[in-house]
Each structure stands twice: as structure tokens, then as C-alpha cells.
Structure 1
Amino acid sequence: MATTDTELSAVMDAVRDIVPRLRDNGRETEDRRWIPDENVELLDKAGVFRLAVPRRFGGLDVSLADQVAVLTEIGRGCPSTGWVSMVWVSSAWLATLYPDEAQSEVFASGSVKISGGFTPTGTVTATDGGYVLNGSWRFNSGCRGADWNIASAIRELPDGTSDEVVAIVPMAEFTVVDDWYTSAAAGTGSCTSTAKGVFVPAHRVVSYEDAVLNTTAGRTAPETPGRRYGLFTYVTAAAVATCIGIAKGALELFLQRVKGRGITYTSWTDQSQHPLTQIQVATAANKISAAEGLQAGWLRQLQTRADAGEQPTDEEKATVRGQSAYAIQLAKEAVEILYSASGATAIQRDVPIQRFHRDIQGLSLHGLLLLSTNLEVHGRVLLGLDPDTPLL
């Protein structure tokens, strides 16, 4: 049974209602280097952590476009909370790539928070009934409040070769090191998580290839058609939502401050009356709209493929990577314009726009979202060359 418009509207309305509270908690989020319990509880109550969970487990099982709409709203309220929510929601979808037995365990509560990543800085060694996991994973956003953790690792094969696998493990099995001290996205709590001799049942380990191609065996077909997206196109699309939300939030914050605010050492008593300010606001707003326009195109394309039961082609995946990074660049440029137009008082920590500015600067440097890397992949495809990356 598909999610009803009423169910989705209820989530959207609830999230919009809590955006001011998320924004009010921004300073505390940064100071404690982790999102407040209140933020998590409000989002959980709103149904955010059920968005990507299959309906047979009590989830909402909404489309990627609907997930993006909700995540954008959260980013509008608090960049760090938006980023962590994106990680938890998208990782819940990733859990649907595992066999049914694993899904029954992961989704037992219906609402679930899952952290993790794709850097294979661990190893798995075969043992009776599964594997032993060892390793450490840095920049693990959301691990401080996650229920489960996805860990990429290298598996040694009997013939002496190796491949990459992705294990899903209860977060309680990891040790989290409090080492997240940053100038951007400070509230994401992206600490290092470590596993030492952790047993992982075989059904909770899938090959990297199966995860990327969505070919894991032992899975029930989705109750709602059109939910088997391409892995990296799905993840990047979700990340763009947070960044567009940050830009939208920065625009709102600027507009709230600018009217009646004078320009120091000039005769202007209302900055909003200055032509340069008007040009800056319009430029920022149009950059945000342009980013949304790119986003709408790839969301349609990805959903069309998923509805047809197909994976995107490599060319389409490379295009999504390039356009996603460019959309983030546009969102970042919008925030830069607004921050620069905010005057010296904006450097005060109690003025939220400086945090939005720093956070989008940091998030845009994420390896999977980096403009130069993604434009290279996209450009190679446009030139008729091989994408030259497995991260498609």
C-alpha cells in the first residue's frame, strides 16, 4: 500500500512547524558538537525516521522526491540537523538493499536511525555463520545517535584476492571516539567509530557490487513499486536537498534582518533600499531556484528508471553526479552572497547566518559532493570517455 498524500502532508506540516525550534537550537547544536535530544525527538515524532522504511515494518516508504522535500525543510532550520537527518534517512533506504532477514532486524521498531559510509577502512574475516569485523571509520555523521551503523570493509577471498563489502551492525557494537572538533558542520557529531572483533552474521553483509547494482538476493520485492534507486545517485540527491535547504534558510535569515538595517558609514538607513542589496538578494534567490531546477530534472529521471524497474545508465549516473555537485555549488554561492551582504555584525555567533555560511562551506567539501571531482566524471561522459570511477 502506497503512502497516502495525507500521511506525507502530516510529516511535512510537522517538520515545517518545528523549523523555528531547530533554528533556535542552532547555537546549542554547535556548542555541544551534536544535535540536541529535543531536535531528534521532534523529528522522530514528525515521522522523519520512517520516511524510507518499508511499509511492512511500519514505515512510510515515500519516494525519493518526497524524502528530498522533507530533508530540504529540515536543512532550512538547522544545517547540522539537516545533514544528520539526511544520513539517517538515506541510510535507512540503504538497509533495504540487505536480505529480508537483516531488514527484519534493522527495521524492527519502524522508526530507525542509521549512520555509516562507503570508505572501506575496515576488514572482515570469514568465520562460522558470518564474519569478524575490525576497523575504524572517520567522519561518521550521526553515529552518536544512531541505532545501526553501515561499515564498508575489505573481504579477503579464498583465492587470495579481495573485494569490498558493506556490513550493517548495531551501533552499540562500535566504540565512538569524541574527536569531532570542526569549524563547519560542528553539530553533526561526525566522530570516529571503531569495531574490534565484532561478529556480523552473514545475512548482514552484502557485497559492494550487489549494493551498487541493487542485486542482493533474498529480498522481498518492494510493496511500493519504484523504490529501487541507484545507490550513489540516490545518496547524492539526498545530500543536495540538505544544501538547498541551507541556502533557503540563509535567504530567510537575511530577509528577516535587512529591512530597517542601516549601512554603516553611509547615508543609507535601510539596506533593503540600496540597489546593490536588491541585486544581491535576487541573484541569491535565482541561484537557489537554478539548483532546484537541476534537482527536479534528475529526480524525475531517477524515478522514471525506478518505476520501470531499471537502474540508471552509467552516463545518467555520471550526469547526476555532475549536476548534483553543481547544484550544491549554486546553493553555496547563494549563501556566500547573502553572508557577504550581511555586514560585520553577522560574524557574531548569535547571528545564525554565519553558521549557515560555515556549514555549507564545509559540507560542499565532502568527497562525494566535491565540485571538481564530480565535474570531471560528468565531463568524461560528455566527451565519450569512460567515467573512470566505481562510485556510480
Structure 2
Amino acid sequence: MSSPVAAGAAAEVLGAVESLVPTLRENGREAEDNRWIPQDNIDLLDKAGVFRLTVPTRFGGLDVPLADQVAVVSAISRGCASTGWVASAWIQGGWVASLFPDASQEEVFADGTARISGGLAPTATLVPVDGGYVLNGSWGFNTGVRGAHWDFLAAVVPGEDGGYTPVYAMVPVDQLTVADDWHVSAAAGTGSFTTSAEDVFVPKHRVAGAAELVTGTTGDRSNAGLAGRCYGLITYVMAMSAAVFTGAARGAYDAFVERAPGRPIAYTDHADLSAHPLTQIKVATAANRITAAEALTDNFIRALQDRADAGEHPSVADSVRVRGEAGFAVQLVKEAVEALHEVAGASTLLRKEPFQRFHRDILGLSRHGMLTPNTNLELQGRVLLGHEPDTLFL
């Protein structure tokens, strides 16, 4: 559900981002070399309004629907997959922050914009103290933390009976320690450094139960039950992450098609790569796979928005569908870029060529535990065959 004002604002942000695609692509090698996206990228996206997309309107944000968020992330990723991955994480963080109590939202959104990273594995403990909790632990793969203002971090609260309660804490990044340990062969620019907390005090209002966040039922907030934005945590993350893959695949396709005409095929008599029938078949195959992945994601995004507009939380069946279809979309774009890679020639291995970076980033990001195609397709297949989902991540 989108108001005319929100629709106009979303279109303005998208237009601004689309004009930045060449710059983001040009900055791709710098992002990889520095293991973190350039400040220029952050500033340009901030000026375009990207980090206001999920900020509630009462704080001066844009609060646009999911499809508009996805379109912006896809456009960013068409320029640079690492920048798209970071932007997606920060936009998601804004949406998650809107699920916290009002007192927390007032702190996080005080400036009308927010860059919020997240550590989703509960590899920390929160011990209750007067007025809140003390947080200790560390989180790996914390995308974008080096440029974030806040971090929402998974932890557990130990119980007296030996059990525990899973929760999320919202913590200012300047209270955390960020290690310089992000040395990877793909998505290097995401700066997904390990982050640690040592005896960090977290006020009670900045801690929310994991079950309540996942279902959008956190209390003490004025936007509780707000129709149009209850997407479900897991399904929302899947949708926003899939946008990075379809956008990056478009970027790879653009880079291939731009350099193909007039390029000879080494050690043959063929003087024009674009004129060879095999190249033409591979390009058509890639284009159709990318289009199919986009159509698949558009369909489940529309279904999630319809459910949200009705004021309903996604069902288990919805979640299984989104995970399976998002996993298949990732598989499709992997195959699309591999098809182009087969005929791209050795010169695309040069680090100055954007195509090789798109190729590596897509393959690397597809190893993300929640996005790996086989894991998601197995889940969907289990349910289609009448079995229980056998996972809590729905």
C-alpha cells in the first residue's frame, strides 16, 4: 500500500539511484581493494534518500512499500553488488528498527535517516541488570558495520532454569569493537567485519524478543499492527537479498553486452564476438534467465504486499514459498552469469573489468546460509511433498 506522496518519493529516489549506476560501477574496484565501499558511494546514496526508505514518516522518513525498496536495491546492485548488499542491509535495518518500541525508535531515527547493520546469529548473551542488560559476545559477517550508526544484534537471555530467551538488542556502533578481518574472494567491498561487545549496557527499551520481531508483535510502539508493512522478518530479508542478485546479474549482462561487439575470439578467425551464434545463444539464455528471476521475485513480493495490506502476517506457506522461489531466483541468475562467463574470454579476468567482479560476487553471495539455492529448494520441496518444514526460520 502506497500513498501518492510515498509513490512520488520512491520514484524520485529510484531515478536518482539509476543515474548513479555508472559511478557505482566505476568505484567497484576501489570497494574491492579497500574491502569496504567508498565514502563517495555512501554519500551519493544518502543524498538520493536511500537510507530514508524504511524510516517511519513521523520521523521524516519515506516509509515506502517493499516493491519500491527492492527496485532501489536492484538498481544499486546493477552498479556494484557490494554496494547493493550493504545498502540492502542498511535499508532492512531501518525496517527492523521500526519494529522496536517507540522509545528505541525515537533514538534510532532522531535524524530522520539511519544506517543500521545487523548480526543475526545469537552468538552473545544479555544478562539482566537494573534498567536493562549487559551485552557480551561477537558476530561475524556483520555487513556494513563500519559505516553504520546502529547495529541490531541477536543474543540470548539466560534463564534460571538453564534455558534461554532469544532476543535482539539495538546498540550504537561506537560502543562496539570492529575487527579488521574481512579478507574474502567475493563481495569484498561489503566490509562484513566481525563485531564484538564487551560489557555494553543496553537499556531495556532497546531489547526486543526475537519471536515478537519475527511476527511484528513487539509492544510499546505506536505503529504496532500497521497495515502495509508487516512483511515477516525472514521473508523480508529474502526479498531484499534477492534484489541484490537480480540487480547484479543485470550489471554483469550490461558489462558483457557493452564489450562484445567487435571483440575477436582468440585463436580463431572470428573477428566479432557478438556475431558468433554461440555468443548469441548464451546472451539470449542469460537475458531470459534474469527476466525469469525478476518475474519470480516480483510475484512473491506482490503476494507479501497483498498480505501486509490486509493487515496479516505471512503464513508458513507464504514463508516457504518465498524461501523456495528466492532460492530458485538466485539459481537462475547464477546460471545466467555463468552462461555469459563461458563465452566472455580470458580478458574479462582482468580486475579492471566489472564483469569478473559481478561474476565472483554473485557466486560468493549465493553461499549465504539463508540464500543458498539447495537449502531453500529442499525446504520448499519438503512442504510440497507433505512434510513439515523442519526449520524455525520462516
TM-score (norm 2): 0.98
Corresponding residue for 1:4? Answer: 6
The answer to whether residue 13 in structure 2 is matched with residue 24 in structure 1 is no
Instruction: Give yes or no for contact 1:177–1:192 (8 Å, CA) kept in 2.
Output: yes
1:202 maps to which of 172, 185, 204? 204
Identity of aligned residues (%): 55
CA-CA distance at 1:372 after TM superposition: 1.5
The answer to whether residue 349 in structure 2 is matched with residue 347 in structure 1 is yes
Instruction: Give yes or no for contact 2:115–2:147 (8 Å, CA) kept in 1.
Output: yes
Corresponding residue for 1:79? Answer: 81
1:39 maps to which of 38, 41, 54? 41
Greater CA drift, 159-168 or 215-224: 215-224
Corresponding residue for 1:101? Answer: 103
Aligned residue identity for 2:258: Q
Counterpart-to-counterpart distance in 2, 1:32 and 1:161: 42
Aligned residue identity for 2:329: A
2:220 maps to which of 218, 221, 233? 218
Aligned residue identity for 1:167: A
Deviations 1:316-358 (A, max 9, x none): 1011101101101111111111122210001100111001011
Aligned residue runs from structure 1 range 1-392, under 5 A = 2=3, 3-221=5-223, 225-392=227-394
CA-CA distance at 1:139 after TM superposition: 0.6
Deviations 1:41-77 (A, max 9, x none): 0000000000011011111000000000000000000
5+ residue gaps in structure 2? none
CA-CA distance at 1:7 after TM superposition: 1.4
TM-score (norm 1): 0.98
Counterpart-to-counterpart distance in 2, 1:300 and 1:25: 33
Aligned residue identity for 1:250: A
SS at match of 1:4: helix
Counterpart-to-counterpart distance in 1, 2:83 and 2:14: 16
Instruction: Give yes or no for contact 2:119–2:140 (8 Å, CA) kept in 1.
Output: no
Instruction: Give yes or no for contact 1:55–1:223 (8 Å, CA) kept in 2.
Output: no
Across the aligned residues of Structure 1 and Structure 2, the Cα RMSD in angstroms comes to: 1.2
Counterpart-to-counterpart distance in 2, 1:232 and 1:386: 18
Counterpart-to-counterpart distance in 2, 1:7 and 1:275: 44
Counterpart-to-counterpart distance in 2, 1:10 and 1:320: 28
SS at match of 2:208: strand
Deviations 1:177-198 (A, max 9, x none): 0000000000000000000000
5+ residue gaps in structure 1? none
Aligned residue identity for 1:24: E
Instruction: Give yes or no for contact 2:225–2:311 (8 Å, CA) kept in 1.
Output: no
Instruction: Give yes or no for contact 1:146–1:171 (8 Å, CA) kept in 2.
Output: yes
SS at match of 2:103: helix
Aligned residue identity for 1:4: A
Deviations 1:138-191 (A, max 9, x none): 010000100000110111123432111011100111000000000000000000
